[in-house]
Amino acid sequence: MPSTPRAEALQTYTVRATFGVRFLGMFRKLDPEQIIDTASRLERRIEERFPDAGLGKLAQELTAVTREARALSAWLAAPNKPLRLGVSVAIFALFAVVLAAAATLRGETGPHNWADWVQSLEAMVNDAVFVGVAVYFLLGLEIRRKRARALAALHVLRSLAHIVDMHQLTKDPERIVSGGPSTPSSPERTMSSFELTRYLDYSTELLAIISKVAALYVQELADPVTVAAANAVEELAINLSRAIWQKIIILDRVAPTTPG
């Protein structure tokens, strides 16, 4: 049966709509593979520009962390089916115990006067409260386990951010701008204005990747505690980058750099 213009138009619209949804979906979530590629490329750039610098080894460590983040973020997003099954069985057993206790109120061994009824009801209320607390604990078991692993990973990112800051701490543009005598304890400064600018720029890129990995951990984990910790890491990275960019601005005012 030949296709009509209306059918062809509907088919074209469906294809375009489907492609549009898939295309938009690419920009609504962080892609771990893209983060790993960016970190690996930055590691190579640093190694090529500063072969013997400690910043390159730090970039190598950050690349390894991004690979670990890919696996951990997938684990955080996936439901823990064995744990959920065990929790369901435990909750069912608790309710079965409560129902069995309630059944004794109507059996031959149940209470036979008002005093016994009051004591039995009090015991049931206590059991119900205990069961409620136990159910609350069991239902939060999975999220607490994921929270513990996510917080440990975020602590690593926080440490990496501070290490990046330590590497650029002695990279002072004022020595290039105004000069001045060195002291016996002064750090060795052999970088040109261009090299120092690139070093500082690489530091800001490392901090940017750290903040993106922190966001990756909480992308599928809606836990307020973990989200707050990730936001703290992102804020730390932004503040450290802001301080580094102040140095870059000083260098740009003295000697504009060429792309590299």
**Selected residue with higher pLDDT from 17 and 206:** 206
Tell me the pLDDT tens digit for each residue of 110-147.
555 666 666 666 666 776 777 777 777 766 778 888 89
**DSSP letter, residue 188:** P
pLDDT of residue 211: 94
**Selected residue with higher pLDDT from 68 and 88:** 68
**Selected residue with higher pLDDT from 125 and 45:** 45
pLDDT at 10 over 60: no
Kindly report the average pLDDT of the chain as a whole number: 78
pLDDT of residue 169: 82
Topology adopted by domain 31-78+143-176+190-254: Glutathione S-transferase Yfyf (Class Pi); Chain A, domain 2 (1.20.1050)
pLDDT of residue 29: 84
Q: What's the CA gap between 205 and 167, in Å, rounded?
A: 13
Whether the CB-CB separation of 153 and 217 falls below 8 Å is answered with: yes
**Among 59, 89, 30, which residue's Cα sits nearest to residue 218?**
30
Amino acid in the structure at residue 110 = G
**Among 97, 78, 80, which residue's Cα sits nearest to residue 135?**
97
Q: What is the mean pLDDT of residues 185-203?
A: 81
Which backbone phi and psi does 185 adopt, to 5 degrees?
-95, 0
Q: What is the mean pLDDT of residues 209-238?
A: 92
Q: What's the CA gap between 168 and 46, in Å, rounded?
A: 14
Q: What residue ranges do the domains of the chain occupy?
A: 31-78+143-176+190-254
**Among 26, 33, 25, 27, which residue's Cα sits nearest to residue 71?**
33
Q: What pTM was computed for the model?
A: 0.73
